[in-house]
């Protein structure tokens, strides 16, 4: 996407602008869901209701901290390989006002790589009308919660928590930015069989990155060679992405990449907390396609 250096500079200004903002003013609620006030606003949400999607848009959808930056870097590299040039990296989240105003101008060349953390029912209708293909990324709920906790505490646009035990009940109640993980998951589970949807998990990308690159490229109809697949996977590893994050992410580099481990939840959860998530998963996702793809018994048991 164009204007990436300018995006980075504007994001830096935003991060600097909230340093002395009271905690209670860092978030606001729109249609029952909490959002960060520094990067989202009511006007933008109203505006994106009439967002004009294009048939050749490539859309990434994820709940926060499920691997969106990682998946987006792979998608950028895949598109860049097709065009035989390095694609400029940036994540134009359509509900973030700093990105929305550029996308709204409609001057970004196709194919546009877009992203959102919006719940299914809040995604602009034009994306469904135009049958835009969507890469939906999920991560097991326990690691998502831990990553989200650290994201809150390392991100100046969000109110910090004193302890993990303070954060956990808010996560379970959906009283965090972008709302409930489980609401997000339950809704998307109903749409996984649609031709315009590809579900990828953080854990599968960790286990088989080359295979993930192939699936993504095939889904979007982008033809790349085996050699390009290997090159994209090498530069798309979490380790490589973190080491080069200042170049690709600018001021938010230290915020978006932490460990990237599978199973880090075991160093944070109590037995009671683990059982609470187990019960919630059983209630919401047991026996579902998404529940199976998340391999819960592999990644979320002691």
Residues 61, 72: Cα–Cα separation, whole Å: 10
Residues 68, 256: Cα–Cα separation, whole Å: 9
**Known catalytic residue at 117:** yes
Instruction: Name residues whose C-beta falls within 8 Å of residue 67's C-beta, 6 or more positions apart in sequence.
Output: 137, 139, 200, 202, 205
Residues 269, 264: Cα–Cα separation, whole Å: 9
> What sign does the CA torsion over 184, 189, 195, 198 have?
positive
> Measured between alpha carbons, how far is residue 78 from residues 200, 281, 288 in Å?
16, 34, 30
Tally of CB atoms within 10 A around 226: 9
Residue 123: closest CA among 100, 95, 87: 95
Instruction: Name residues whose C-beta falls within 8 Å of residue 74's C-beta, 6 or more positions apart in sequence.
Output: 205, 212, 213, 216, 232, 236
Residues 171, 151: Cα–Cα separation, whole Å: 13
Residues 237, 225: Cα–Cα separation, whole Å: 18
Strands 27-30 and 33-36, by their bridges, are antiparallel
In the numeric block, the tokens 């001021």 are attached to 251
Among residues 76, 117, 184, 268, the one annotated as catalytic is 117
Angle, CA of 264, 204 and 4, to the nearest 5° = 85
Q: Which residues are part of the catalytic machinery?
A: 117
């Amino acid at each position: 996407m164009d204007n990436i250096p300018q995006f980075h500079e504007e994001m830096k200004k935003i991060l600097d602008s909230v340093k002395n903002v009271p905690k209670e003013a860092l978030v606001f609620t729109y249609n029952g869901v909490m959002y960060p006030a520094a990067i989202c606003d009511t006007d933008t949400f109203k505006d994106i209701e009439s967002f004009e999607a294009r048939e050749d848009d490539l859309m990434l959808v994820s709940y926060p901290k499920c691997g969106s930056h990682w998946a987006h870097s792979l998608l950028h590299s895949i598109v860049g390989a097709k065009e035989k040039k390095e694609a400029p990296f940036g994540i134009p989240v359509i509900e973030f006002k700093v990105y929305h105003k550029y996308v709204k101008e409609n001057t970004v060349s196709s194919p546009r790589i877009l992203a959102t953390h919006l719940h299914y029912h809040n995604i602009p209708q034009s994306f469904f009308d135009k049958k835009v293909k969507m890469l939906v990324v999920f991560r097991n709920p326990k690691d998502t919660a831990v990553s989200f906790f650290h994201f809150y505490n390392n991100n100046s646009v969000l109110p910090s928590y004193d302890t993990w035990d303070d954060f956990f009940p808010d996560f379970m109640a959906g009283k965090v930015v972008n709302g409930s993980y489980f609401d997000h998951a339950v809704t998307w589970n109903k749409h996984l069989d649609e031709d315009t949807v590809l579900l990828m998990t953080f854990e599968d990308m960790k286990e088989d990155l080359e295979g993930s690159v192939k699936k993504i490229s095939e889904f979007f109809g982008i033809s790349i060679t085996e050699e390009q697949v290997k090159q994209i996977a090498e530069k798309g590893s979490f380790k490589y992405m973190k080491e080069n994050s200042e170049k690709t992410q600018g001021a938010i580099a230290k915020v978006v990449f932490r460990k990237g481990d599978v199973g880090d939840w075991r160093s944070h959860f109590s037995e009671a907390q683990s059982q609470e998530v187990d019960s919630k998963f059983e209630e919401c996702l047991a026996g579902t396609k998404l529940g199976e793809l998340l391999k819960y018994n592999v990644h979320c048991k002691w």
